[in-house]
Structure 1
Amino acid sequence: MHIDLRDKRVIVTGASRGIGKAIARGFAAEGARVAICARTQADIDAVGAELSRDGRAVIARAVDVTDTPAVKAFVDEVADAWGGVDCLINNAGQGRGGNLDTLTPEQILEHANVLQMGHFRFIQAVVPYMRKQRWGRIVEINALAGTQITPDGIPSVVNRAACIAMAKSLGMSLPRDNILVNTLNLGWIDTGQWERHYREMPPGTPRDEFNAMVLKVVPLGRFGKPEDVVGMALFLCSEWASFISGASIDIAGGMGGQIAYYPTLKREFHDMMTQRLGSNVSHG
C-alpha cells in the first residue's frame, strides 16, 4: 500500500510538540504542504524551520484557538497561499483534571472553549474551502476518556465526549460534499505528560514501579508513541480511506473500560509510596 499525499494542503493544529509535531512531520515526509500552528510563535517557528529544511512548503503561525477571527485569518492565509485546504488535523487541546468538589463551572467552560470550540472554529473555517473543491478530510485528535468514562477528570471526560460526538455528527452531515470526518481517541501516548504525573508521586518513588502501575490498564503493556498515531492520520487523509466517515477509532493498545480503574490505582499507589517512603506529600 502506498499512501500518496504529495501536494496535499494540510493544516495541523497544536503542532509545536508531541502528537501534532509528529503528525506534521509525517505529512511533510509524504510530500504534503503543511501549515502548522500553536500558541507560541518561537516554538512553532522552530518546527516550521525543521519541516522546511528540504525545501518543503510550510506555513507556521502562532494562533490562539479561542480567537475566532484569528483562526479564520490563519485558514484564509493558507487557502490564499495554496489555493485551498485539503486536510485538517484538529490536534490542539489538552487534558484537565478535577471533580465535583474541586471544579467551578467556569473552569469547565474555559476548557470547553479551548477544546470543543477550538476544534469547531477550525472546522467551520476550513469547510467552505473543502466544499468548493468537493474534497476534504478532517481528523479529530481526541482521547479515550471521551468514550470510556472515568470517575475523575470531569473537564476532559465531558469535553472530549462532546468533541467525539461532534466528529460523528459531522461525519454524517459532511460526506454529501465529499468531506470525511473521523476521530482518533488516544490512550496513554507518551508525549512528556507522564513526567508531570510522576512528579505528583512522593519524592523517591521508583520510576519503573510508577510505570508498571500506569500500564496495568494497558493490555499491550507499554506507552504509545506519537508515531503510533501518525500512520492512522495519514491513512484517513488518503484515497485508501475514501469510504470512511463518522468513525471513532481508539489508539490505546487495547485499553477500553480498564481506563476507569486508573484513578483508583493512582491513589492507592500514592498511598503505598507515602507509607513506604515516609513522605507527607498529599495526593496528586
Structure 2
Amino acid sequence: MDLQLTGRKALVTGGTRGIGRAIVEALAAEGTSVAFCARTETDVKEAEQALRVDGAQVSGTALDVADGAALAAWVGTAAEQLGGVDIVVANVSALAIGPGEQNWRSSFEVDLMHTVRMVDAAMPHLERSDAASIIAVSSVSGREIDFADGSYGVMKGALVHYISGLAFDLAATGIRANAVSPGNVYFDGGVWQNIEQHNRGLYDHALGLNPTGRMGTPEETAYAVVMLASPRASRISGTNLVVDGALTRGVQL
C-alpha cells in the first residue's frame, strides 16, 4: 500500500537512537524528507550519516529541546530548508523517573513543554500543508499506575490530554493530532537495557508482565507513528494508539 508519504516533510525530536531513530528511518524509507534533532553533536552526526544511506533525505541538528528559543529556531530553519512541514513528531523524553522536584521540572519542560513549543513553532507551516499530522510519543505509564508513576507518568498522561484537545480544536482546519503510547521498548543503550544490567529484579518483573513474553522494538512503535502520519489515516485524529503487545489491561471505551 502506498502511504502517500513520498515528498512529505517531517520534523522529529530525538532521532539518534531508539524509537526516534526508528521513526526517522521509517519515514525516510517512505520517501519523506526528515529533519531531526537530539542533544549530543557526535550522536547527531553519526545518525545523520547512517540514515542517509540509499539517498535518504535526512538532516540532523544538535540542541536541547528544553531550550524553547533554540527549539523554535530549529523548527523555523528546518521548515525553510525542507520547504515546509507536513508532519511533526514530538518524541523526546527526559525519562525523569522517581521522586524529587527536579524530576518534575525535567518532565514538564522536556516531555510536555517541548511538545507544546514544537507544535506552536510549526503551526504556521502545518497550516499550509494539505495533509498535516501531529504525533506525540507518550507512554502506557500515562495510562495506568506503574513503577514510573509520579512526574513521568503524569506528564505522559498530560501529553495525551494535550493532543486530544489539539485534535478537537484543529479538526476544522484539517490538521490531525494523535498520540502513540508504547509499552516496554528494548534497544541497545535504552532504559530497559540499563535496568536489565543494574536492576535485574525490576527488569524480570516488567518482562514477566508482557503476555507476549518479550518487550517491544523501536521499529514496532515507529510503524504506528508512520501509519498515523500517512495521509491515508485522514479520519484518525484525537486517538491514543497503544502499542504494547497487550501489556496494559485497561479497556479503552
Normalised to the residue count of structure 1, the TM-score between the two structures is: 0.82
Native 8 Å contact 2:179 2:240 kept in 1: yes
1:217 pairs with 2:209: yes
Q: Write the distance in 2 (CA, Å) between the matches of 1:46 and 1:95.
A: 23
Show the counterpart of 1:38: 38
Match runs of 1:18-33 below 5 Å: 18-33=18-33
Q: Per-residue displacement from partner, 1:15-34 (whole Å, max 9, x unpaired)?
A: 11001001101011111101
The one-letter code sitting in structure 1 at the alignment partner of 2:186 is D
Q: Write the distance in 1 (CA, Å) between the matches of 2:104 and 2:203.
A: 29
Q: Write the distance in 2 (CA, Å) between the matches of 1:78 and 1:212.
A: 42
Q: Which runs of 5+ in 1 are unaligned?
A: 259-284
Native 8 Å contact 2:131 2:174 kept in 1: yes
Show the counterpart of 2:129: 133
Show the counterpart of 1:73: 73
1:170 pairs with 2:183: no
How far did residue 76 of structure 1 move? 0.9
The one-letter code sitting in structure 2 at the alignment partner of 1:234 is V
How far did residue 210 of structure 1 move? 7.0
Native 8 Å contact 1:135 1:177 kept in 2: no
Native 8 Å contact 2:186 2:193 kept in 1: no
User: Which of 232, 246, 251 is the equivalent residue of 2:243?
Assistant: 251
Q: Write the distance in 2 (CA, Å) between the matches of 1:10 and 1:24.
A: 9
Q: Which runs of 5+ in 2 are unaligned?
A: none
Show the counterpart of 2:112: 116
How far did residue 153 of structure 1 move? 3.4
SS, match of residue 181 in structure 2: strand
Q: Write the distance in 2 (CA, Å) between the matches of 1:149 and 1:112.
A: 18
Taking structure 1 as reference, are residues 133 and 26 closer, same or farther at Cα in structure 2, changes over 3 Å only? closer
Q: Write the distance in 2 (CA, Å) between the matches of 1:117 and 1:159.
A: 9
Q: Write the distance in 2 (CA, Å) between the matches of 1:233 and 1:253.
A: 16
How far did residue 152 of structure 1 move? 5.1
How far did residue 3 of structure 1 move? 1.6
Match runs of 1:1-20 below 5 Å: 1-20=1-20
SS, match of residue 119 in structure 1: helix
Show the counterpart of 1:87: 87
Native 8 Å contact 2:13 2:37 kept in 1: yes
Show the counterpart of 2:98: 98
Q: Write the distance in 1 (CA, Å) between the matches of 2:58 and 2:165.
A: 31
Q: Per-residue displacement from partner, 1:37-84 (whole Å, max 9, x unpaired)?
A: 000111111111112232332221012111112111111112111221
1:242 pairs with 2:234: yes
How far did residue 97 of structure 1 move? 2.1
Show the counterpart of 1:197: 195
SS, match of residue 161 in structure 1: helix
How far did residue 211 of structure 1 move? 5.5
Q: CA RMSD in A?
A: 1.9
Show the counterpart of 1:179: 175
How far did residue 148 of structure 1 move? 1.2
Native 8 Å contact 1:24 1:36 kept in 2: yes
SS, match of residue 174 in structure 1: helix
In our comparison, the structure showing a higher alpha carbon Rg is 1
SS, match of residue 128 in structure 2: helix
Native 8 Å contact 1:14 1:38 kept in 2: yes
Q: Write the distance in 1 (CA, Å) between the matches of 2:132 and 2:226.
A: 13
Q: Write the distance in 2 (CA, Å) between the matches of 1:18 and 1:152.
A: 19
1:233 pairs with 2:225: yes
Native 8 Å contact 1:52 1:58 kept in 2: yes
Q: Write the distance in 2 (CA, Å) between the matches of 1:151 and 1:79.
A: 38
Aligned pairs, number: 248
The one-letter code sitting in structure 1 at the alignment partner of 2:117 is R
